[in-house]
């Protein structure tokens, strides 16, 4: 099935990921990472809940849960009062549309700052539906452990949700739900000591 036709369904978990065109960097400096997350929250937080993320120099990962159909419908009606509620404006296409807006907004600013033009990310973005709680836990661990691939300690990596889960920082991350998935914080930490049983 064409990945562009795979809608992100309400109340379902997904692993969303993508990389730079030809594996090129999508973040050149710390400000890029922070702006990327700012744009993610601007476009995505009303249509999904965030369960983990990791931003790497040339790619990113998010584990999200799409909001309920009722919440998506309310958001759609708010944003498209002047438009017919079909086609690209339908609830079925809403989350993909918001991801596209998010990616486009980041790309435009990145290109302007770094004096480049053209696509920054591969298209379309990758998405994989998460069908079980065990798989969800494995994906969260996998996402958090990503910095190990470039010989960085994921426990201290700044652009990941791992530390946020452990902290008391104010966050949009679903911290309580994440900890409950692993039973408690101690088990969350323990489970991250094992390499995730996971393949993309």
**Rounded to whole angstroms, how far apart are CA atoms 48 and 95?**
8
Is 0.75 surpassed by the pTM of this model?
yes
> CA–CA distance from 192 to each of 12, 131, 140, 174, 181 (Å)?
24, 21, 9, 18, 13
Q: How many CB atoms lie within 10 A of CB 58?
A: 14
Q: What is the mean pLDDT of residues 66-84?
A: 80
Does pLDDT of 3 surpass 90? no
**Rounded to whole angstroms, how far apart are CA atoms 173 and 38?**
13
Q: Is 94 exposed, middle or buried (0-12, 13-18, 19+ CB in 10 A)?
A: buried
Range of the domain at 78: 3-191
Task: Report the domain count for the chain.
Answer: 1
**Is 62 within a domain?**
yes
Provide the pLDDT for residue 92. 79
Mean pLDDT of the chain: 91
Find the CATH number of the domain harbouring 172.
Answer: 3.30.70.1290
**Is 200 within a domain?**
no
**Is 196 within a domain?**
no
């Amino acid at each position: 099935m064409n990945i562009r036709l795979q809608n992100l369904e309400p109340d379902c978990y997904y692993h969303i990921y993508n990389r730079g065109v030809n594996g090129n960097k999508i973040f050149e400096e710390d400000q890029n990472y922070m702006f990327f997350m700012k744009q993610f929250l601007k476009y995505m937080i009303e249509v999904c809940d965030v369960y983990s993320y990791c931003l790497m120099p040339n790619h990113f990962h998010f584990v999200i849960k799409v909001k309920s159909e009722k919440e998506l419908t309310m958001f759609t009606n708010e944003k498209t009062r002047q438009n017919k509620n079909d086609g690209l404006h339908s609830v079925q296409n809403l989350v993909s549309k918001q991801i596209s807006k998010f990616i486009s907004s980041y790309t435009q600013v990145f290109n302007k700052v770094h004096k480049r033009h053209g696509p920054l990310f591969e298209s379309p973005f990758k998405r994989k539906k998460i069908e079980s709680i065990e798989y969800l836990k494995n994906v969260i661990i996998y996402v958090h452990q990503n910095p190990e691939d470039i010989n960085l300690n994921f426990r201290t990596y700044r652009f990941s949700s791992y530390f946020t889960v452990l902290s008391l920082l104010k966050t949009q991350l679903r911290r309580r739900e994440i900890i409950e998935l692993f039973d408690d914080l101690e088990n969350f930490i323990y489970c991250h000591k094992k390499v995730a049983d996971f393949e993309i």
